[in-house]
Amino acid sequence: MTESTLQGRTRIPVAQPVFAGNEARYVADCVESGWVSSNGPYIAKFEQAFASWCGVRHALTCANGTAALHLLLMAHGVGPGDQVLVPSLTYIATANAVRYCGAEPVLVDSEPRTWNIDPAALEACIGPRTKGIIVVHLYGHSADMDPIMAIAREHGLFVVEDAAEAHGASYKGRKVGTLGDSASFSFFGNKVMTTGEGGMVVTNDSALADRVRLLKGQGMDPHRRYWFPVVGYNYRMTNIQAALGLAQLERIDALLQARRDVAAGYQRGLAGLADRLELHNESSWAHHIYWMFNVLLRDGDAHDRDALMAKLDSDGIETRPVFYPMHCMPPYQDDSGRYPVADRVGSRGLSLPTHAALTEADVAYICERLAHHLATRP
């Protein structure tokens, strides 16, 4: 866990995987059996277990969360000339996956409470070339799906849920990944559960699942070995990664509860700073899994946020800025001023350490140092 020690205190990383179950045993089984590549029994075991846990008919492993998004967009028929609506406030992979298909991502602003794509802004962004919508459940809080799905159905659009950060989150009692037409998950090392790298596609649509399965394995015909009817991709997960994933999934409830406990600690410890900080809390209709616990400066700009992060770093506390909005990035630059919420969150938000290895003392120390720096801020 330690990166370095500062004045006798272990440095607190912003994210850290926890391997406290069958991870080593399952990986050793892969090595001993020789099944280490993209064939092997743990692939099917992990897919079946994840589908059951999510509550969907099909779960398909793949190389990473970005590959999962690309596969789904291809399976939904996205290509050159098409447009796909995506939130501006998200990790860049969401927009990149649209570009991989030769299509155009159309950016949409966020709503101010959950920071997710704003249903009220969606309809004005729909045009004759719009093919679908990617909804991101940002930082583990679900988007407001009912109005989004109503708009999509009215206009004949597909909805992909980017649930890379939202394993186990729910909307009105329904798990994310089951709310749209299909969904993608990421198992990168900083996620709630990890396979190192890795991703998953989930859907109830059997034809869509078959298309994803074909595309992720170089396009090889499942009934005719080494026959390739389409151009596919090498987007497969390894058996070793699936073994890790299966072990992590066996402990998912404990991993999720640990994050809820960390969030509760932050809410208690930062309660007296409401005049300085806005917390990314959960809506009444959501179950937030707090992939990252985020706070937002009520005033100031990116310079003030970055200065605060530097002071926390000197205390041995790693933090991260909230994602820069896509419209600020050179590939997707848009100076139209249509993204006031994304601009506000992107310039004032920071992610505090959030993972299952944090102790109550860690959280208390982070809150104390954050309060100290805000009190001495001009």
Containing 96, the helix (H) or strand (E) segment is helix 93-100
Q: Distance (Å, rounded) from C-alpha 144 to C-alpha 169?
A: 12
Q: Is-contact 106 125, C-beta < 8 A?
A: yes
Write down the catalytic residue from 131, 175, 191, 311.
Answer: 191
Task: Classify 321 as helix, strand or coil.
Answer: strand
DSSP-based three-state secondary structure for 154: helix
191 catalytic? Reply is yes
Residues paired with residue 295 on neighbouring β-strands, in sequence order: 279, 350
Those residues whose C-beta lies under 8 Å from the C-beta of residue 216, and which sit 6 or more positions away, are: 60, 62, 63, 67, 71, 232, 233, 235, 236
Q: Locate tokens 């770093």: which residue?
A: 313
Instruction: In whole angstroms, give the CA distance from residue 360 to residue 136.
Output: 30
**Phi, psi (deg, nearest 5) at residue 329:** -85, 140
Q: Tokens 């029994």 appear where?
A: 41
Dist. CA 268–CA 286, nearest whole Å: 20
Residues designated as active site: 191
